[in-house]
Each structure stands twice: as structure tokens, then as C-alpha cells.
Amino acid sequence: MNDIKFAVEARGLIKRYKNADHPALDSFTLKVSQGEFFGLLGPNGAGKTTALSILCGLLPPDDGTVYILGMAPEQQATKIKQILSVVPQEIALYNKLTARENLTFFGKMYGLRGDRLRARIKRCLEIAGLTDSADQPVSTCSGGIRRRLNLVAALLNEPAVLFLDEPTVGIDAQSRRLIHRQLQTINRQGTTILYTTHYLEEAGELCGRIGIIDNGRLIEEGRPDDLLSTSNSRTLDELFLHLTGTQLRDA
Amino acid sequence: MSRIITIAGKELRLLGRDRAGLLVLFLMPAILVVIITLVQTNVMQRSGLVKTRALFLDLDGQAVGSALYKLLNTENLHLVGGNKKEKTAFDLEKAVRNGKYQVGIVVPKGSTKILRRNIAHLFAKPAQKNEKTPLEKVRLKVFFDPGIMPGLRAGITARLQMAVQTLSFEAKFSALEEVLKKASAELNVPAEGSPLPAAGLRELLVRPVFSLSDNAATVPSKSGGYNPVQQNVIAWALFGIFFTAIPIAGTMIKERVSAISDRLATLPVTPLQLFAGKIAAYVAVCLCQFLLIALLGACLFPHLGLPAFTVTENPAGILLIVLLSSLAACCYGIFLGTACKSFEQASTIGATTVVATAAIGGVMVPVYAMPDIMQRISIISPMNWGLNAGQSLLMRGSSLAAISPDLYRLALFCLLMIVLSRLQQNR
């Protein structure tokens, strides 16, 4: 039995896509403790999304093992799905449904019903500041509202582990600030968060620990301040470029 | 189960807000069934598959005209009396040439008089006959629609000849009877001594001595028999039903592109529950489609001069066929949704395969009218299985056991599509 002090544990993950020159993940190993806010950073094509997809069970690894709160996805997938939530990078919502209808649908998929479901939806709409636009079709909402709704749809089951894949892409400072605050609150309430982002400043502000992934491997991890001091870097941007180089990755 | 109901509810809500999608699903098959049925009715009238309409212009107005009308106005030939709009042979010819009627028959003025004169001449005493004067014939005129099938034309001509022969024999036998009566009286021959009965000879001679049994009589009387409405309602309802494969594939691709499928994959719901929810919603849509088309057939068609669609026998059997065909269409849509990379790809492949299977399956042209090779190929079309089963129930009065092979094929097709979809998802 695996040690349950880790909320997320990946051991030696290997993933190779067809016709790719290099593996997307190459012996990727990661440990995130319970209640931690962990940021996973990396340049484009470094393997962030592949790692996240394997960790949340969307993609099977070619090799290696994953544990979520000590449970292996291949053995206890249903249990893991009850306590884990994912916020995809894309707006994963039904455009023709209203915010409330989207939340009702996803809530019912978690098995929520009746007063419990209504209470959770009310809470999620409050978190996202969407009480007034709850009955508006998603297609007519602004980008910021959609992003916030995309986030709170993953909070319906009050997850123990929350994965977020660049949840603040393309939104204004106000919406980003609201999302940051809500994530910090959720984390303080005990939810483990694994967060991928390109905004290094954001990661430094939010995450207790960060990991930098490149070429499918975790090349550095630690508290942001510790990493800066040990590498003699002034900013996380400088540290990031120092570790991953200045060459364009998607050229 | 509650998750499946939730997914089905969500699908129906999304579809309800997609006006274009609803139009394609409901209006397209409804329009097609009306147009094609009207078109096919015309074709079937020309080929004799339905009652042929013949315009009968009786300018004689006496015994020959009325006797011919009685002899010709039978099961498959519907005689319409002229003399109202079409007063002359020219008017009648014009009406037939314009395709209003398939056949036009003119009984010329004085036909009864000519027939009587001819019969009287045939049985006159040699001294009374003027052999030098040629007999004037009763000249009936027949006009055929140029587009009529040769077989139907030959059949109608044969029926006309038979009617004319019958009239001619009856007239001759009546005259012969009279001659014999007179001769017996003149020669004082007692009735029992005559080799032929003087009275009732005509009835005796025209009494039929052959019988011809029609195999169609073995069809149970309740079944509707072959007509374009029974053929097309089930055929185009199936076409519309199979078209739902495209919107189902579309919803799956939209979910994949917008990462909703990724979100769903992380929720405590299985892929089979997701499939089942979609299938349940769209099967309900398919049943509504069928109901709409059946109602059109039953209520609107009679107002368009077409027979009404009827399901007098085994409505549960028809429901089972529609249900299994709907399941097959939905499962095909699920497969398209997992196999195609974009909505454009799914709509092109979906539309092409649905139209092709409809054509092969006998929706557009009945299978029996296809070349041999196409008839053999038609067995691979799921629409053919549904159509064949439906026609067997509606037109041949078959039992559920008789159509079970087609039902099993539809069920197996569903299973195959779901297995292929899961394999495709796992790739």
C-alpha cells in the first residue's frame, strides 16, 4: 500500500506518442503532498499537459505508476473520480445551456441531487461571482465569466485534489484576481491543487512549491524563494530561462 | 440510470435550442415523404402498380356503352365517366396525352345500333342477306398515355378485347337463342327432343367453365397491400431516422473539440453511460420523427388524393422495427462521432453513407426494381433490414417470427457499432 501522505504521486512515467522523435514524458516523477498548492511550469511542448492528462486518468502511461491519495487509477477509478476534479485549458461547457444548467448537469454527473445539488450550485455561482448571470446562455457570456464558470464547474464535488490546466488564459486582471483568491481559499480549506501556467509571476504568488518540467522530465522543484536563492536568479522568469534555455520550442 | 436520464435530458435540451438541427431532423423527411410519394404515385399509376385511372366517354348512351362500362370497371381499372369536361374523342385524347388519365376509351355514337344490325345480319335468312354490302364494325377508340408501361398497356388492351368478345358472344348467343326458338316453333320440335335448350341457351353458353386463382388472394385481408404510401411512409421515416446519425456525431465531436469530453471522462460516469444517454435522447427523437411521418401519411395524404397510411395489423411489430432501426441509427452516429476528426468530416461521411444505404436499401427505388447485382448488395444496408421488415408487416401481413432475421441484423449492427466506437475511443 502506498503512503497516503501524498495527494498526487507519479513514479517514472513514460509516454511516447506515435511518430514523435522524443518521448513526451521520460521517467517523470512527482510528489505533491496533501493540502499543497503545486505549480507545474514548463515551456511549450515540455510535457505539462501530457503529465496532467495521465495524472487525472485521461491518458494511460506507457510505463510508470500514478497514485491519487494512495489509490491507483486502474484499480479505483470510480473512487478517484469522486474526489478529483479537472479544469481543462479550454472552456469545457455547453454553450447553449445557461450557467445554472451547466452546473446542474455536471453536478448530477457527480451524483448530487435535490437540496444538496442546489446548495452546491448556489455556492459555486457565488464563488465565481455569477449569481446575476446564472440564467444566461454561456454563449452570450463574456470570456471572463466563461473562465470562472469553467473553474467552478470543477468545484461542485468539493474535490480533495484539483488539477488546473492554465485556468487564467485570456482573461482580464479582475477575473484573474478573483480566480486567484478563490483558489487560495479552496486550498486553505484543504484541497490539494496542481496548477499549470505560463504566468511565472502568478505561480510564484499562488504556489507553495513549483516544479519545472522540460523534455518530459521534472528538472527542478522546490519553494519559489528557495529556488531563486539557490540559483542566484532575481526572478522566476530568469530562473525559468536559465533552466530551460532561450531557444524557441514551438518554432 | 439517473445519470443516463440526465444525459438524455441534456441532449434533448441542446437539440431543442438548435432550430436548424430540428428542421433537418423533422422537416426534411416530412417534405421528402410527401414529394416522393406523390411522384411515385404517378410512376406507379403508369406502371400499373396502383389502380389505373381510365377516362370512359360513352357517346353511345345505350346498351353497348353501359355493358362495356360494367365489364371494364373492375378492381384494377378505375373508370371515370367523361361527358362533362371531355365531350369529344379529341378532348379525351388531350386529357390522356396530358397525363391526367392513363387510358381513354371512347364508345362511339350508334355503337349499339351497329352491333344489333350486324347480329341481325349474321342470323338473317340467306334470302334476306345482302352479301355485297360489307358489315360496318363497332369502332371503339382507345388512347394510351405515352408514358405508360408496355406491360400495363398490353394488359388493358387484353381486358378490352375480352370485354368486346364477351359483348359480341352474348349478343350472338341471344340472337341464336331467338333463332332456335323460332325454328323449334316452326318445326314443332318438343323441348325435350331438342339437342339444345331453346330457352336459357345464352346463359348456358356464357357460363364460365374455367377458374383462375389469384395468388394475391392469400395475403391476409387486413394488410394494406402494395401502394406508394405504405412503401414510402416506412421508407422515408427510416431515411430520416438514419439521418440522426449526423447530429449525434456532431454533438460528440463538439464535446471533444471543446474538451467537454475530457471533463466528462474525469467525472464518475462511464463511456457506456454517456453513449446510452445520447442514444436514449435520439431514439426518442427518432420515434417522434416516425410519429410525425405516420401522421402525415394517415391524415394529410388522403387530402392530396393519396391512400391513407394504415397500421391495422401488428402495430407493436412496427414499433419494434422503428425502435431497432432508431437504435441502429444512433449507434452508427456514435461510431461516426468517435471515428471522425471534425464535424465537416462526419457530416460528409454521414450524409454520403446514409444516402448510399438508403439507395441500396430500397428507400428510393424498391429493391425488386433494381438490377440483380444491386438486389444482392441491398442485403448489406441496415435501412434495407428495417424497410424489408416494415413492408413485410404492412403489405404482406407477415408475422413477427418471419421478420425476426431482419430484427436480429439490426440488433447485431447496434452491438458492432458500439464495440467499434469503444475500440476507436481507446486508440
Give the model's pLDDT for residue A2: 47
**Residue at A15 is within a domain:** yes
DSSP string, B172-236: HHHHHHHHHHHHHHHHT--GGG-SS-STTHHHHHHS-------GGGGS-TTS--S-HHHHHHHHH
Amino acid A94 reads: Y
> What is the distance in angstroms between the Cα of B16 and the nearest Cα belonging to chain A?
10
Dihedral angle computed from the Cα positions of residues A217, A222, A227 and A231, in that order, rounded to the nearest 10 degrees: -50
Q: pLDDT: is A165 or B372 the higher one? A: A165
* Whether A90 and B268 lie within 8 Å, measured CB to CB: no
**Residue at A124 is within a domain:** no
Q: Does domain B51-218 have CATH number 3.40.1710?
A: yes
Chain B residue numbers with beta carbons less than 8 Å from the beta carbon of A78 are 268
If pLDDT is split at 50, 70 and 90, which confidence band does B217 have? Answer: very low
Give the model's pLDDT for residue B215: 52
* Whether B2 and A153 lie within 8 Å, measured CB to CB: no
Mean of pLDDT values over B354-361: 90
* Whether A101 and B13 lie within 8 Å, measured CB to CB: yes
On the question of pLDDT at B384 being above 60, the answer is yes
* Whether A105 and B6 lie within 8 Å, measured CB to CB: yes
SS (H, E, C) A110-149: CCCCHHHHHHHHHHHHHHCCCCCCCCCEHHHCCHHHHHHH
Give the model's pLDDT for residue B274: 92
Mean of pLDDT values over B311-339: 90
Domain count, chain A: 1
On the question of pLDDT at B377 being above 80, the answer is yes
Q: Choose the closest CB to A111 out of B10, B266, B268.
A: B268
Q: Would you call A116 an interface residue with chain B, using a CB distance cutoff of 8 Å?
A: no
**Residue at A119 is within a domain:** no
* Whether A109 and B18 lie within 8 Å, measured CB to CB: no
> What is the distance in angstroms between the Cα of A52 and the nearest Cα belonging to chain B?
12
**Residue at A106 is within a domain:** no
* Whether A90 and B17 lie within 8 Å, measured CB to CB: no
* Domain that includes residue A181, residue range: 6-92+153-244
What CATH number did the domain enclosing A39 receive?
Answer: 3.40.50.300
Q: Which set of grid coordinates corresponds to residue B165?
A: 368478345
Mean of pLDDT values over B100-123: 86
On the question of pLDDT at B8 being above 90, the answer is yes
Mutate to test the interface with A, among B257, B267, B272 (most CBs of A within 10 A): B267
Q: How many residues does chain B have?
A: 427
**Residue at A182 is within a domain:** yes
Mean of pLDDT values over B391-405: 83
Q: Would you call A97 an interface residue with chain B, using a CB distance cutoff of 8 Å?
A: yes
Q: pLDDT: is B224 or A198 the higher one? A: A198
What is the overall mean pLDDT for chain B?
A: 82
State which H helix or E strand residue B33 sits in: helix B28-47
On the question of pLDDT at B125 being above 50, the answer is yes
Share of chain B above pLDDT 70, in %: 85
Dihedral angle computed from the Cα positions of residues B117, B120, B122 and B128, in that order, rounded to the nearest 10 degrees: -110
Give the model's pLDDT for residue B218: 46
Give the model's pLDDT for residue A1: 45
Phi and psi at B149, nearest 5°, equal -65, 140
pLDDT tens sequence across B276-294:
999 999 999 999 999 999 9
Q: Choose the closest CB to A92 out of B2, B3, B260.
A: B260
Q: Would you call A96 an interface residue with chain B, using a CB distance cutoff of 8 Å?
A: yes
* Whether B268 and A78 lie within 8 Å, measured CB to CB: yes
Q: Would you call A50 an interface residue with chain B, using a CB distance cutoff of 8 Å?
A: no
Q: Choose the closest CB to B258 out of A92, A105, A153.
A: A92
Q: What is the pLDDT along chain A (251 residues), one digit of tens a residue?
A: 445 678 899 998 999 888 888 888 888 899 999 999 999 988 887 888 889 889 988 888 999 999 998 888 888 888 888 889 999 888 999 999 999 999 999 999 998 899 999 999 998 998 888 888 889 999 898 888 888 899 899 999 889 999 998 887 777 888 788 888 888 888 998 899 998 887 778 888 888 898 888 888 888 888 877 777 777 777 777 777 776 776 666 65
If pLDDT is split at 50, 70 and 90, which confidence band does B297 have? Answer: confident
Give the model's pLDDT for residue B221: 44
Q: Which set of grid coordinates corresponds to residue B270?
A: 462511464
Average the pLDDT over each of A113-117, B67-71, B126-130, B166-170 and give the range with the smallest value: B126-130
Q: Would you call A136 an interface residue with chain B, using a CB distance cutoff of 8 Å?
A: no
Mutate to test the interface with B, among A108, A139, A164 (most CBs of B within 10 A): A108
**Residue at A215 is within a domain:** yes
Mean of pLDDT values over B220-232: 63
If pLDDT is split at 50, 70 and 90, which confidence band does B139 have? Answer: confident
**Residue at A97 is within a domain:** no
* Whether A109 and B2 lie within 8 Å, measured CB to CB: no
If pLDDT is split at 50, 70 and 90, which confidence band does B83 have? Answer: low
If pLDDT is split at 50, 70 and 90, which confidence band does B184 have? Answer: confident
Sign of CA dihedral B406, B412, B418, B420: negative
Sign of CA dihedral B349, B351, B353, B354: positive
Give the model's pLDDT for residue B20: 83
Chain A residue numbers with beta carbons less than 8 Å from the beta carbon of B262 are 53, 58, 86, 88, 92
* Whether A97 and B13 lie within 8 Å, measured CB to CB: yes
Chain B residue numbers with beta carbons less than 8 Å from the beta carbon of A159 are none
* B149 vs B66: CA distance, rounded Å: 28
Chain B residue numbers with beta carbons less than 8 Å from the beta carbon of A88 are 259, 262-263
Q: Would you call A83 an interface residue with chain B, using a CB distance cutoff of 8 Å?
A: no
If pLDDT is split at 50, 70 and 90, which confidence band does B84 have? Answer: low
> What is the distance in angstroms between the Cα of B361 and the nearest Cα belonging to chain A?
36
**Residue at A250 is within a domain:** no
On the question of pLDDT at B415 being above 70, the answer is yes
* Whether A109 and B265 lie within 8 Å, measured CB to CB: no
* Whether A113 and B262 lie within 8 Å, measured CB to CB: no
* A130 vs A105: CA distance, rounded Å: 17
Each domain of chain B, given as residue ranges in start order, spans 2-44+226-426, 51-218
* B340 vs A243: CA distance, rounded Å: 40
Average the pLDDT over each of B114-118, B134-138, B373-377, B419-423 and give the range with the smallest value: B134-138
Q: Would you call A111 an interface residue with chain B, using a CB distance cutoff of 8 Å?
A: yes
